[in-house]
Amino acid sequence: MGDAGARQGPVRALGTMSGTSLDGVDAALLLTDGQEVLEFGPTAYRPYTGAERAVLRAALGRWPGDAGVAEAAEVVEAAHAELLSRFDGAEVIGFHGQTLAHDPRGRGTHQAGDGSVLAGVLGLPVVWDFRSADVRMGGQGAPLAPFFHFACARLIGAAGPLAFLNLGGVGNLTWVDPARPGPEAAGALLAFDTGPANAPVNDLMQARLGLAQDEGGALAAQGAVDEAVIAAFLTHPFFSRRPPKSLDRNDFAWLLGAVAGLGDADAAATLTAAAAAAVACGARHFPRPPAQVLVAGGGRHNATLMAMLAERMACPVRPVEAAGLDGDMLEAQAFAFLAVRVQRGLATSCPGTTGVAAAACGGRISRPGP
């Protein structure tokens, strides 16, 4: 889908992300032509309240029309409208919404939140529903940040292959060869979900201690890893499946049962180790070894998880800030970038990123009324 009325040349796009960790909404302004990142702009974060988080959590795993979904959509739309109204100068908005369910080989993919509502409130064109077209064409619908990762690899001057790792509720890896002519080119990208990342630990902390997360990995650092749980976890068929591949946030919800007999610290340590082990498993699929892995997402603030990754990976593992990028805002920036690509009819996914049959442009555009 393209927008014949879209202005050519660089535009200021405002992207958003509300991840499966359910912590809040990120927003970031970007100057881009959909090919290159020309300038990073202001960013902002709006946490969900405890009550809002409870509404979203209650709707996880549900589909349009199910109980609680309309209420979740209202929370998502209101939080985004409040945050995005703080920005000046945006020409288009990339609105991801909140993933509630993801079953690409079954019912599809479901992100709560209607872009037309935001277009009306904010008076700007809104690009949204980024994943559905990819799923309809046989793709996994995820991950979608890889085309932006390719632009970032070029921006930071990477000479050879490197990898980006996002640690949200689910983990995902993007292997990038920036020497290829573009993100759609054969061999430029390989991307896939690695397995659970922050979601099981967050759910454990919420259920046992009433906390949103294990801040900095402090509780996990005090515990011992149950290696039998990790060994059983790694026998799951997902890990041997060739990428591209993707997960729903709750596909590994059974992990909480696997650590039910452990104390709080040991359970946190074991779930954190599972996230690191899943990433190391994923690295076996890389076409060639990367020079480094750059880590974005909330998980990079977890010192215990980062230490476990460093032990398991064969190359340096560093937060993306080491390369001059913003690990809290990389996904919001990605949807700003993708919004411009959708406006211009450029691909947002390809066989190497989602397994879609051919390079595809996903997303629909809602314009404000007169």
- pLDDT, position 250: 82
- When pLDDT is averaged across residues 275-300 and rounded to a whole number, the result is 96
- When pLDDT is averaged across residues 136-164 and rounded to a whole number, the result is 95
Token output for 331 = 């996904």
- When pLDDT is averaged across residues 205-234 and rounded to a whole number, the result is 97
- pLDDT, position 219: 98
- When pLDDT is averaged across residues 111-118 and rounded to a whole number, the result is 97
- When pLDDT is averaged across residues 84-111 and rounded to a whole number, the result is 95
Specify the higher pLDDT residue, 248 or 347: 347
- When pLDDT is averaged across residues 347-366 and rounded to a whole number, the result is 95
- When pLDDT is averaged across residues 261-289 and rounded to a whole number, the result is 98
At 2, is the pLDDT very low, low, confident or very high (cuts 50, 70, 90)?
Answer: low
Residue 308, pLDDT above cutoff 70: yes
- When pLDDT is averaged across residues 314-341 and rounded to a whole number, the result is 97
- When pLDDT is averaged across residues 18-37 and rounded to a whole number, the result is 94
Q: Model confidence over 58-94: pLDDT tens digits? A: 999 999 999 999 999 999 999 999 999 999 999 999 9
At 21, is the pLDDT very low, low, confident or very high (cuts 50, 70, 90)?
Answer: confident
In order of their start, the domains of the chain are: 11-142+329-366 (3.30.420.40), 158-323 (3.30.420.40)
Residue 4, pLDDT above cutoff 60: no
At 7, is the pLDDT very low, low, confident or very high (cuts 50, 70, 90)?
Answer: low
- When pLDDT is averaged across residues 346-352 and rounded to a whole number, the result is 96
- pLDDT, position 246: 85
- When pLDDT is averaged across residues 159-180 and rounded to a whole number, the result is 95
Specify whether the CB–CB gap between 182 and 188 falls below 8 A: yes
At 1, is the pLDDT very low, low, confident or very high (cuts 50, 70, 90)?
Answer: low
- pLDDT, position 20: 80
- In this structure, of 14-23, 286-295, 343-352, the range with the lowest mean pLDDT score is 14-23
Average pLDDT, the chain: 95
- pLDDT, position 105: 83
pTM recorded for the entire structure:
0.93
Residue 6, pLDDT above cutoff 80: no
- pLDDT, position 273: 98
CA distances from 97 to 77, 210, 363 (A): 8, 26, 12
